[in-house]
Amino acid sequence: MLHRVLVTDNLSAAGLKVLEENPEIELVIKTDPKLSVEQLREELQDADGIVIRSGTTLTEEVLEGQSRLKAIVRAGVGVDNIDIPAATRQGIVVMNTPAGNTISTAEHTIAMMMAMARNIGPASASMREGKWEKKIFTGTQLAGKTIGVIGLGRVGLAVAQRCLGLEMRIVGYDPFISSERANEFGIELYRDLDEMLPKCELLTVHTTMTPETKNLINAERMAKMPKGARIINCARGGIIDEDALADAVESGHIAGAALDVFLQEPPKETRLVKLPSVLTTPHLGASTDEAQELVAVEASEIISGFLTRNEVRHAVNMAPVSASEMGGMKKYIDLAYRLGILLAQQTHGEGIRSAEIHYRGEAASKHTRLLTSSFSSGLLSIALGDRINIVNASMLAEERGIPISEETSKKAGDFSTMIVAEVTTDQGTLRAGGTMFGHEYLRLVLMDDYQLDAYLDGTMLIYRHRDVPGLIGLVGTVLGKNNINIAHMALGRETNQPGGDSVAVINLDSKPGQDVIDEILSNKDVTAVEIVQLPVAGAPLPWLGL
């Protein structure tokens, strides 16, 4: 089946070409007219992936119940127009293209700063009206001025580098970078934003939009800046409090502002936009041919790589996995998932308090977080059904108050690679350990304290019993007379002495009914019987299509 990719914002032709030329992808473009929320919900019902820019907002309401949608790709940086927790809860991977538009955005920031300092916008408008107003448009020189850069990520650092070239002094604030790194870029790093603000004759913000950065520059902070300071925002509307900025510009404390982004786009509240010393552009930071080609091609490659090769690149709500890494992980993801559903069925999904996964030998060098998510999606599959997958498993486990921890040891034990999962429930602790033979065949080699060697697929009849002669024959006879074929049988006993507690795992070709289970259970030496249903060997896993 073709993977359907919906595009709802303008992407460069080069990016669309990547999707059009992929024979495994069906491209659906819905950019004009802009879709309503209802139309977007409807289109998404038939989409495996969506590629957007800042023009499409994917709220919880839009994402709710979108069972076909597997991936959202943002052709650009900011993902604040996507409800990430809602996407994660739905099991949808969100990815972006972090670097393609950095330089263009930094250049736009510099352009805005220079245009503001020299009144380029109003001077040009005045000349268009036939005027020659040399005196009123006297500007301010930038060389020698101090600029404060808040957010020293990709764009912030690129802006700082360019400001150095303009012979400006740069002070910076970003709690997440080291002063060594800042110094490499000629930035004097402050650990306290309020201490830095009085130094800033110009201030530019380059953080992502988070609850911490919302209104980061408010009235109180603007008051700490020197009188006549200027403010630039080419990051996200709302990092600077728009109302407070309008007040500060009107009062003359802030001499001017240059804004590319707004709380609401296009802005409905126009007080700020209409102020003569406020320069505005309609979110143009990334709008160059070069940046748009880079982000659109990358976004298209990301969505194709994900849908056709399970590659996870630049994910915002999941660890990244390259196509080659994924190749080596598939069997492990499968193994962890199967241990998860095995234990889920043994606990009936009830009363699970916590789980602990141990990775031994080769397994320890794999992407264990992903494996733990895969295990968790199996473990919670009874409770949550198809809704759970590798993307949302950790979040949903956490929401249900089930801590799932992991521990790794590169030391191999009896097997070169092994995953052992331990689940604690209200009733006690259950354990299952799996390995793979020849990197191919998945095996259950540990159940509670019993060592054994059972297939980890299909229908499994598990019975606990006292290790006495004749029992295997008896169970075999019951199954035989009910026409149930045995594919494989494994026994594990507590000690090497006969007569102790044992467990048997029989892989069957069909599922026995309750009457068969009751007949086996009626034997005085059998203490418990359960049927566990795992996917058949090599069956595809949910959404990963492994």
Ligand X SMILES: NC(=O)C1=CN([C@@H]2O[C@H](COP(=O)(O)OP(=O)(O)OC[C@H]3O[C@@H](n4cnc5c(N)ncnc54)[C@H](O)[C@@H]3O)[C@@H](O)[C@H]2O)C=CC1
Question: Of ligand X, ligand HPV, none, which one does residue 141 interact with (CB within 5 to 8 Å by kind)?
Answer: none
* Part in contact with ligand X (CB under 6 A); list of ranges 31-39, 148-156, 268-276, 368-376: 148-156
Please spell the DSSP secondary structure of 476-509, one letter per residue: HHHHHHTT--EEEEEEEESSSSTTSEEEEEEEES
Which region, left, alpha or beta, applies to residue 219 given φ > 0 means left and ψ of -120 to 50 means alpha?
Answer: alpha
| 283 classed as catalytic | yes
236 catalytically annotated: yes
Q: Is 4 in the site for ligand HPV (CB under 6 A)?
A: no
Residue 326 contact partner, candidates ligand X, ligand HPV, none, CB within 5 to 8 A by sort of partner? none
Binding range to ligand HPV, per CB under 6 A, among 146-154, 191-199, 281-289, 326-334 = 281-289
CB of 394 to ligand HPV, least distance (A): 26
CA distance 466 to 503: 8
Which of 197, 114, 209, 99 lies closest to 155 in space, CA to CA? 99
Q: Is 285 in the site for ligand X (CB under 6 A)?
A: yes
What is the rounded CA–CA span in Å between residue 40 and residue 57?
Answer: 10
- Asked whether the bond before 266 is cis by omega within 30 degrees of 0, the reply is yes
Tokens 């110094």, residue? 183
Q: Is 358 a catalytic residue?
A: no
Among 287, 308, 346, 408, binds ligand HPV (CB under 6 A): 287
Query: Does residue 244 interact with ligand HPV by CB under 6 A?
Result: no
Using alpha carbons only, give the angle 314, 403, 398 rounded to the nearest 5 degrees.
55
CB of 319 to ligand X, least distance (A): 17
Which residues 6+ apart lie within 8 Å of 400 measured at CB?
A: 380, 383
Determine if 286 is a binding residue for ligand HPV (CB under 6 A): yes
Are 93 and 315 a contacting pair, CB within 8 Å? yes
53 binds ligand HPV (CB under 6 A): yes
Asked whether the beta carbons of 175 and 152 are under 8 A apart, the reply is: no
Q: Determine which helix (DSSP H) or strand (DSSP E) holds 51, and give its type and residue range.
A: strand 49-52
Binding mask 84-123 for ligand HPV (x = CB under 6 A): -----------------x----------------------
Paired tokens of 509: 């070709």
CA angle 301, 307, 313 (to 5 degrees): 50
As a dihedral over the C-alpha atoms of residue 453, residue 457, residue 458, residue 461, rounded to 10 degrees, the angle is 30
By beta-carbon proximity to ligand X, the closer residue of 75 and 423 is: 75
Q: How far is the CB of 205 from ligand X (least distance, A)?
A: 8
Q: Cβ of 121: how many Cβ atoms within 10 Å?
A: 18
Q: In angstroms, what is the minimal distance from the CB of 288 to ligand X?
A: 10
Interatomic CA distance for residues 502 and 495, integer angstroms: 9
> In terms of residues, how long is the chain?
546
49, 121, 151, 433: residue in contact with ligand X (rule CB under 6 A): 151
Helix then strand count (H, E) for the chain reads 19, 22
Helices in 21-92 by DSSP H: which ranges?
37-44, 60-63, 84-89
Q: Give CA–CA dist 57/72, Å, rounded.
A: 11
What is the smallest separation between the CB atom of 159 and ligand X, expressed in angstroms?
Answer: 9
Catalytic residue among 89, 108, 236, 367: 236
Q: How far apart are the first and last CA of the chain?
A: 15
| Catalytic annotation, pick one of 61, 265, 356, 422 | 265
Given ligand HPV, ligand X, none, residue 156, with its beta carbon under 5 to 8 Å by kind, binds ligand X
In the complex, least distance from residue 239 CB atom to ligand X, rounded to whole angstroms: 8
**Interface pick for ligand X out of 89, 199, 221, 236 (rule CB under 6 A):** 236
**Is residue 241 within the footprint of ligand X (CB under 6 A)?**
no
Contact range with ligand X by CB under 6 A, out of 13-21, 133-141, 229-237, 515-523: 229-237
Residues 255 to 284: which contact ligand X by CB under 6 A?
260-261, 283
Q: How far is the CB of 222 from ligand X (least distance, A)?
A: 16
Report the catalytic residues: 236, 265, 283
Can you give the binding site for ligand X, defined by CB under 6 A? 76-78, 98, 101-102, 105, 150-156, 173-177, 206-210, 212-213, 234-236, 260-261, 283, 285-286
Can you give the binding site for ligand HPV, defined by CB under 6 A? 53-55, 76-78, 101, 283, 285-287
